[in-house]
Chains A and B, each alone.
Chain A
Amino acid sequence: MAILQYREALREAMVEEMERDETIFLMGEEVAEYNGAYKVSEGMLDQFGPKRVIDTPISENGFCGLGIGAAMNGLRPIIEFMTFNFSFVAIDQIINNAAKMRYMSGGQFKVPIVFRGANGAAGQLGATHNTSTESIYATIPGLKVIAPSNPDDAKGLLKSAIRDDNPVIFLESEVMFGLKGEVSEEKDYIIPIGQARIAREGDDVTIIAHGKSHWIAMKVAERLEADGYNAEVIDPRTLRPLDMPAILKSIKKTNRCVIIDESNPYASISSEMTYRIQEKAFDDLDAPIMRITTKDTPAPYAKNLMAYYMPQEDEAYEACKKVMYV
């Protein structure tokens, strides 16, 4: 095992795949000469040259559409969003062109493309630079949505995403780019899309959390352990497809569930998880499912408001105690 930052794991995944397959290229704002706005693509221009690591103007709609056309014509683009907040000016390309092309062409044109970049809140950035997009993209048939919480998953899943023949939304985090963790040194390290990871086993309550919310779940589990309760922490890793068998297996064991989701709450990925759990495991539940999300507002700027806006560890801890009736 190597110790890598999250950004380094992402880079390793891209570099290894680009060394393996000449049809892969990386395109986005400041990915090449600037070496990446968050240094994810550092050194890649030097290694692969300007044919394969390509700076763009600030034209997300244009270069996402370009990626889609390139994918239809035999290439495997990786399109980097500086952050997914900017994907909204390209959302027509993602939803109408990337996700639907295979379908409306009757299966004639596939779109093997990865849209990747930082997702979710990253501090006092104001309303437009703090959006969690996973629930928006996960609702679209034709897309896969991945949100890794650690360097190892980031590497294994990004490699899978690049090899996938469907359009994949790959959600990273500005605040996790520097996160260090053990990463497999196995050659050709692949984590299959659609498999959850049981980060911690327990039988008192199931906590489901993806992306950086996973780390809140782990802290809550530690606090509960100090109280004498064992929480099972599930990191779904992939939000579409969702590993429902893993989630249901856990709930059959714990009979209780708390979801931490950085989305705005209304019609979010946690709403969908809640629906699916009650549909398949109603009789296994001993308490209503609870969820901790961001507030149902745009993100504020003020420090105290922003802290209050985000899913909080205390809220999640209290929710776990509530569903355990303790």
Chain B
Amino acid sequence: MASQTKGTTRRRKPAAKKTTPVETNGQSEKFPEAALKLERTFESYPAGKFTHKDVGLSADQVMAMYRNMLLQRRFEERAAQMYGKQKIAGFLHLYIGQEAVSTGTAAALEIGKDSVITAYRDHGHGLALGMSANECMAELFGKIDGCSRGKGGSMHYFSKEKGLFGGHGIVGAHIPVAVGIAFGHKYRETGGVCVGFYGDGAAGQGAVHEASNLASLYELPVILVVENNHYAMGTAVHRAFAETEFTRHAVGYDMPAAVVNGMDVFAVTKAMQDHVAMARENRSSMLEIRTYRYRGHSMSDPQKYRTKEELESKKDEDPIIRLKAYILEAKMSDAEALDAIDEDVKAEVLASVEFAEKSPAPDLSTIYEDVYEEDDYPFIS
């Protein structure tokens, strides 16, 4: 706790100090003589710039990442099908297209020590952190063997073991919680960091503003990640934000920020590694990871807000296809072996559907469980 000498006193100097202060004309405050200028640079992590070696990954690790990205993809394709069969109800927000973000992040974290919290599009994050397809599918089916015992559903995946602090449904409201998780890491000196994901839409929430300020003010080990998939539900970024360069939002919090191509898993890994390193030194930061979701906001979205041409052009950037091409190019594997991985993943997903089908629905008595610590709480007896 050496760095937090005062609750609201920070080791860093405010950025505005670059101008020359003078005392003139009876002004009691030191007042800038000339116009204020702001110079900030933001690191960029474009696609194709980093190799697996640049981010310290072995060929085996790359293959594991590929398999996991494919697992996320096939899991959700199957979930969408099960939704159509009414095995899954309520909301189902698919992550398809964004898998490099979750996977690159997981590669940069110490799972079990570090923490992740995200919004309702959470299947990818859960699977990337190592949650099983079984517990994830069973949760979608509303079964007792689901990760949240059938109480959460699609939007509320949690895994204490893997450090997933949820799946959250109120846009932006989990970002103060992300900052609090980081506060817990720093206070208890666990050495862990927290990655808080939110969508571009959430950047308009007051909670995100408050949390960002607190993170920087208290020097907390947190990385705030705008997962910019270009649409807040059906509203394009430029229709919702006066400043669409999200890195610049970080200026108001005196935070470092970088922009990352989220279609390249190595770009994400590299950016996340750099920012995790900052977080381990209690320097909070922001990442804007530009990605794209290929499916609608939820299952009932006619997607009239974007053109088919736009969607098709983005599909050329598919992060899984990109990694597949990389693997083949680097001769880490061959087409036949990659097909075998795909078959293996599909079998795992099918098995998870069978697991979810067979898992019992929660007993009605469980409705009163997990409301309070006490089992015999007076209200629920």
Contact = CB atoms under 8 A, between A and B. Distances in A.
Interface string A40-72: 000000000011011111010111111111111
Contacts of A93: 173, 176-177, 207
A102 B8 CA distance: 31
Contact of A62 (B174, B213, B370): B213
A61 B146 CA distance: 31
Nearest to A53: B7
A154 B188 CA distance: 29
A70 B184 contact: yes
Interface residues of A, number: 51
A69 B7 contact: no
Nearest to A27: B7
Nearest to B372: A166
A108 interface: yes
A51 B4 contact: yes
A288 interface: no
Contacts of B182: 69
A110 interface: yes
Given A50-B6, A69-B183, A97-B177, A106 B158 contact: yes
A104 interface: yes
Interface residues of B, number: 58
B179 A240 contact: no
Nearest to A62: B210
Interface SS, B side: mixed
Contacts of B148: 104-106, 108
A73 B173 contact: no
B179 A69 contact: yes
Nearest to B166: A105
B7 to A, nearest CB: 4
Contacts of A66: 176-177, 179-180, 183, 211, 214
A89 to B, nearest CB: 8
Given A106-B147, A164-B373, A70 B211 contact: no
Interface of B: 1, 4-9, 115, 117, 146-152, 156, 158-160, 165-166, 168-170, 173-185, 187-188, 194, 206-207, 209-211, 213-214, 217-218, 369-373, 377-379
Interface of A: 23, 25, 32, 50-51, 53-57, 59, 61-75, 92-93, 96-97, 101-110, 141-142, 144, 164-166, 194, 240-242, 244
Given A69-B117, A96-B169, A241-B378, 17 more contacts: A57-B217, A61-B207, A62-B210, A63-B214, A65-B207, A68-B177, A69-B179, A69-B183, A74-B184, A75-B184, A92-B173, A96-B170, A96-B173, A102-B373, A105-B152, A166-B373, A242-B378
